[in-house]
């Protein structure tokens, strides 16, 4: 390694708290890289007046401050290990990879003309999440193009937009879970400033932004961390290979990396929430779990900026400790995904029973998921062939997020089918009502609101042929348990990616527009009715089993504010009794069978009245009843008028 050391290069005297390249006043840049596997490290400045190679001083990390570099300069690290072979690699804490995962890193100026100074974030119960993939959300597939669509989402009733991972990944086509540069927003999406413009635009519309972050693994291509230090361990195994070293020798700096990353997204990009991917794949046997430290760091960064920041966790463990406080031995996440709700609705409406859907299927599982987020709360799971989960009784409902579609449940099907091609339209409307009238935080997957029929497939754009073939083989093996078709679309093909783009032209079709109107009206009811706010009021669920009717009632709130949702989860119309204690009857607020939503309009406006009356009539001594069409839902409000 031939290194030129200009006389004006100087080691750091005031080390920034984070690794990477940090712009200082006057254009100097401080470089800091943790690389215990290296014998020596230099930084190569590729362009500008400071171009050249500079030796870094070894301490806990290799560091130096180089004058005259300035923002926009490209650089790499030159490292030499015990074998004496020099390698030129990107910065493990790079803020921008304009030439992709293998190229040089770029110095970024963190300054930005933010206009969101008055934004303070959302309270947790107010989250209505819309998950999107930047690359397929629009034809252009950029942050700026996605920002142009935000006004429509706000008008729909969305309050928070969740971005699938945007950390730099190989090529331009990827879900984002193959990211390898955790601090670098994807270059093909628009890089750091593109992401900042997106967040600023969202806040200007009153929308929060949730960022999906992946701390349980890194992608296989462009992952150079092992050349720098012991970032991985064989002490644990994950579905994606070697685990990240959060609890072994030299793990302090590895932990520091992800804690800094969580703080960085909140501080430098004004994120309102982080969604931690698959925390069950984060292995840490230490006394202070890294997941909890990540949450604490993100929330602290929010408090410093005067904003409310929350942290969501994805977990398949059905473990309420994920959201319990640290004093109770929990991970102190603000909320967690509750997949049993999705599985119960999907299996009951589609009839699928393969894979994990074998644990679901009957309408009673939907009723159970409406009562408590974990259907499997310690009971035996036939699919897992063991007991699964623990009770969530007593945990506030706003601590759980549910969906009937998301990127995993759609994209991890062999052919990426959405519910819009698996269900009839009346069933689609019923699924929307189950989701948006549930007592939990709801998540919609992009295009769900209008019944997008384009698939959401799994796609990649790797350069390494061995990795490409491994991905193809892995996808085929993954689908074996579901007995899905062997004809899996090629993840590497650009056509697979193109087929996954949304087609908003479908909104010109009255059928799609009607479904969007249903979502719009359901979301308006959530805003207008206090009893529908998660955690605001008690809820009660009753269910008549499949043999006797297959319907569910869900009462939200008490007294004059009570709302009663009725769900007919069967293929025939059902007569459903309403509570006899209601003085004067119930008023219909919404029916998924209304003609404006594409239904046949078979419900009257009031229950407990004469057909031609304008005032309600009490029915003492017996229950009122409503006849619900097949696969439909209705929402009634208690009407205390009359005698």
The residue among 358, 470, 484 whose CA lies nearest residue 415 is: 484
For helices 339-350 and 425-436, the axis angle rounded to 10 degrees is 160
Q: Which residue has the tokens 């062939």?
A: 385
CA 504 to chain centre: 22
Q: Which residue has the tokens 């035996």?
A: 380
Q: Which residue has the tokens 């720098």?
A: 228
The residue among 195, 94, 200, 181 whose CA lies nearest residue 142 is: 195
CA distances from 187 to 143, 172, 231, 277, 430 (A): 10, 8, 24, 22, 40
Pairwise CA distance, residues 394 & 70, whole Å: 54
What the block records as the tokens of 460 is: 């990649």
Which is catalytic among the residues 18, 168, 247, 314?
314
Check if 639 is active-site.
Answer: no
DSSP notation for 164-176: PP-EE-SSS---S
Check if 314 is active-site.
Answer: yes
Beta bridge partners of 75: 45, 105
39 close to 45: Cβ distance less than 8 angstroms? no
DSSP 27: G
Dihedral angle sign, alpha carbons of residues 493, 215, 338, 526: negative
What the block records as the tokens of 226 is: 């092992």
247 close to 286: Cβ distance less than 8 angstroms? yes
Which is catalytic among the residues 178, 277, 334, 377?
277
What the block records as the tokens of 171 is: 């090529």
The residue among 584, 537, 546 whose CA lies nearest residue 565 is: 537
What residues have CB less than 8 Å from 50, skipping those under 6 apart? 66, 67, 68, 69, 70, 73
Pairwise CA distance, residues 38 & 541, whole Å: 61
What residues have CB less than 8 Å from 600, skipping those under 6 apart? 593, 629
Dihedral angle sign, alpha carbons of residues 120, 124, 130, 136: positive
Reported as type and span, the H/E element at residue 570 is: none
What the block records as the tokens of 151 is: 């006004």
DSSP notation for 52-120: EEEEPEESSSEEEEETT--TT-EEEEEEE-TT--EEEE--TT-S--TT-TTS-EE----------TT--
Convert 254-266 into a string of H (helix), E (strand) and C (coil).
HHHHHHHHHHHHH
Q: What is the CA radius of gyration of the chain?
A: 27
What residues have CB less than 8 Å from 466, skipping those under 6 apart? none
What does the longest C-alpha to C-alpha distance in the chain come to? 96
Residues annotated as catalytic (active site), given as ranges? 277, 314
């Amino acid at each position: 390694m031939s290194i030129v050391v200009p006389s004006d290069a100087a080691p750091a005297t005031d080390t920034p708290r984070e690794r990477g390249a940090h712009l200082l006043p006057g254009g100097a840049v401080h470089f800091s890289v943790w690389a215990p596997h290296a014998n020596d490290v230099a930084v190569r400045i590729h362009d500008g007046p400071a171009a050249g190679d500079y030796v870094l001083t070894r301490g806990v990390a290799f560091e130096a401050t180089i004058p005259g570099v300035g923002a926009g300069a490209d650089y790499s690290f030159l490292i030499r290990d015990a074998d004496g072979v020099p390698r030129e690699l990107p910065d493990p804490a790079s803020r921008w990879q304009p030439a992709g995962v293998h190229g040089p890193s770029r110095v970024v100026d963190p300054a930005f003309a933010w206009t969101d100074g008055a934004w303070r974030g959302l309270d947790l119960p107010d989250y209505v999440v819309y998950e999107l993939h930047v690359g397929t959300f629009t034809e252009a597939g950029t942050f700026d193009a996605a920002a142009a669509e935000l006004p429509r989402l706000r008008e729909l009733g969305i309050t928070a937009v969740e971005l699938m991972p945007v950390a730099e990944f190989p090529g331009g086509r990827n879900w984002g879970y193959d990211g390898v540069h955790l601090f670098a927003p994807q270059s093909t999406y628009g890089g750091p400033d593109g992401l900042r413009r997106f967040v600023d635009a969202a806040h200007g519309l009153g929308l929060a932004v949730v960022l999906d972050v992946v701390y349980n693994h890194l992608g296989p291509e462009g992952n150079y961390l092992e050349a720098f230090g012991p970032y991985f361990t064989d002490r644990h195994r994950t579905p994606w290979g070697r685990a990240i070293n959060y609890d072994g020798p030299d793990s302090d700096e590895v932990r520091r990396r992800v804690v800094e990353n969580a703080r960085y997204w909140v501080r430098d990009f004004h994120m309102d929430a982080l969604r931690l991917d698959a925390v069950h794949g984060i292995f840490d046997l230490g006394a202070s779990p890294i997941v909890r430290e990540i949450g604490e760091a993100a929330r602290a960064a929010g408090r410093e900026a005067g904003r409310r920041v929350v942290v969501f966790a994805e977990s398949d463990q059905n473990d309420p400790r994920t959201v319990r406080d640290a004093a109770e031995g929990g991970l102190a996440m603000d909320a967690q995904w509750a997949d049993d709700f999705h599985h119960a609705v999907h299996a009951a409406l589609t009839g699928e029973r393969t894979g994990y859907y074998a644990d679901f299927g009957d309408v009673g599982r939907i009723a159970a998921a409406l009562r408590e987020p974990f259907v499997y709360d310690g009971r035996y799971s036939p699919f897992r062939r063991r007991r699964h989960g623990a009770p969530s009784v007593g945990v506030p409902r706003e601590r759980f997020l549910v969906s009937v579609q998301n990127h995993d449940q759609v994209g991890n099907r062999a052919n990426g089918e959405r519910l819009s091609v698996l269900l009839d339209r009346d069933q689609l409307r019923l699924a929307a009502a189950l989701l948006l009238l549930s007592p939990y935080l709801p998540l919609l997957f992009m295009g769900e609101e209008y019944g997008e029929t384009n698939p959401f497939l799994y796609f990649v754009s790797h350069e390494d042929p061995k990795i490409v073939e491994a991905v193809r083989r892995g996808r085929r093996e993954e689908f074996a348990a579901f007995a899905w078709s062997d004809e899996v679309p090629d993840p590497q093909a650009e056509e697979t990616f193109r087929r996954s783009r949304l087609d908003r032209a479908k909104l010109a079709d009255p059928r799609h527009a009607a479904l969007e109107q249903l979502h719009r009206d359901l979301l308006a009811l959530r805003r207008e009715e206090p009893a529908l706010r998660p955690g605001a009021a008690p809820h009660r669920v009753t269910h008549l089993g499949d043999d006797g009717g297959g319907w569910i009632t869900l009462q939200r709130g008490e007294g004059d504010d009570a709302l009663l949702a009725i769900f007919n989860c069967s293929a025939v119309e059902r007569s459903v009794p309403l509570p006899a204690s209601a003085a004067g009857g119930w008023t219909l607020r919404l029916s998924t069978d209304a003609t404006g939503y594409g239904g046949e309009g078979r419900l009257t406006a009031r229950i407990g009245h004469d057909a031609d009356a304008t005032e309600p009539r009490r029915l003492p001594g017996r229950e009122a009843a409503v006849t619900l069409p097949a696969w439909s839902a209705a929402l009634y409000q208690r009407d205390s008028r009359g005698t």
